Amino acid sequence: MTKKRVSHTSRSIKYLQRELSGNWLVDVCERRKGPVAVDLFGMFDLIAITPQATIGVQVTSGDHHADRVKRVLENPGFGLWKAESALRRVLVLSWRLSPQRRGSKRMVYKPREEWL
């Protein structure tokens, strides 16, 4: 029996709903155009909101973390997103397959967060 693969996006939604304190609404905001994913404002795959704050989330694999940080920082909309309100934040969330414990053969996905 083969295991069904879980996407980084699905994994991230569950992670954010569990880790963010309070009543956050988390949802996908990217759309597909054929095989290509188009991000919201060219930066975000997910959006997390409360009445008090908004977080734009870029989801990626561990190998592409630095590329995504660079892409978000170079996006013309990044300055506008951050300048308009102190209540808007940006999170780059990447996933890497690592041993569950030191010396363990069991591999699990572990998150890396970088707030911009």
The pLDDT, as a whole number, for residue 85 is: 66
Query: Which CATH number do you get for residue 102?
Result: 3.40.1350
- 1 occurs within a structural domain: no
Question: For the chain, what is the domain count?
Answer: 1
Q: Return the amino acid letter for 5.
A: R
86 by DSSP, 3-state: which? coil
CB of 77 closer than 8 Å to CB of 58: no
- 2 occurs within a structural domain: no
The pTM assigned to this predicted structure is 0.88
Strand ranges across the sheet with 25-28? 25-28, 46-49, 54-61, 88-99, 107-115
Beta bridge partners of 100: none
Averaged pLDDT score across all residues of the chain: 90
25 closest CA partner among 45, 65, 53, 61: 53
Residue 86 predicted with pLDDT over 70: no
Q: Return the amino acid letter for 79.
A: G
- 39 occurs within a structural domain: yes
Q: What is the pLDDT of residues 44-79, one digit of tens each?
A: 999 999 888 899 999 999 999 999 999 999 999 999
